[in-house]
Amino acid sequence: MFSNAIIKTFVPTVNPAEAKIFYGDVLGFKLLGEDNYALEFDANGTLLRVIIVPELTPQAFTVLGWNVPGIETTIRALNNKGVFFEKYDFDFMLQDELGVWVSPNGSKVAWFKDPDGNILSLTQS
């Protein structure tokens, strides 16, 4: 039914001005439009709608992620823009100095947060 439909993803914000800078300037997505309800970005062909909400308790899990060809290079580029990666204190999930965890299947994964505390991730398969 939806195999030919274009997917749209949603992320909440309580501070649209900061979200606009983060998703637009820091992550590099093109702003398509904004109103009193949301900011909408082109995230490489996926519509990313950053919805404005009156209050927000971020989830404890990843809400949005990207597959990247070189995770370490991407992390360093984001570090240069003031974005730093989470380091979790789990015995089963050892991370390197950049915050990269190698999953059992060999994929490299790292997590960071947007200005609202939403957990985002990078994966290199």
CA separation for the pair 77, 79 (Å, rounded): 5
Q: What pLDDT score does 92 carry? A: 85
Beta bridge partners of 39: 34, 50
For residue 106, give the DSSP letter. Answer: S
Q: What pLDDT score does 16 carry? A: 98
Q: Please, what are the domains in the chain?
A: 7-55 (3.10.180.10), 57-125 (3.10.180.10)
Q: What is this structure's pTM?
A: 0.94
How far are the Cα atoms of 9, 39, 74 from residue 68, in angstroms, in the given order?
18, 24, 8
Q: What pLDDT score does 56 carry? A: 98
| Tens-digit pLDDT string for the chain (125 aa) | 999 998 999 999 999 999 999 999 999 999 999 999 999 999 999 999 999 999 999 999 999 999 999 999 999 999 999 999 999 988 888 999 999 999 999 999 999 999 999 999 999 99
CA separation for the pair 39, 19 (Å, rounded): 8
User: Do the beta carbons of residue 51 and residue 44 sit within 8 Å?
Assistant: no
CA separation for the pair 123, 93 (Å, rounded): 15
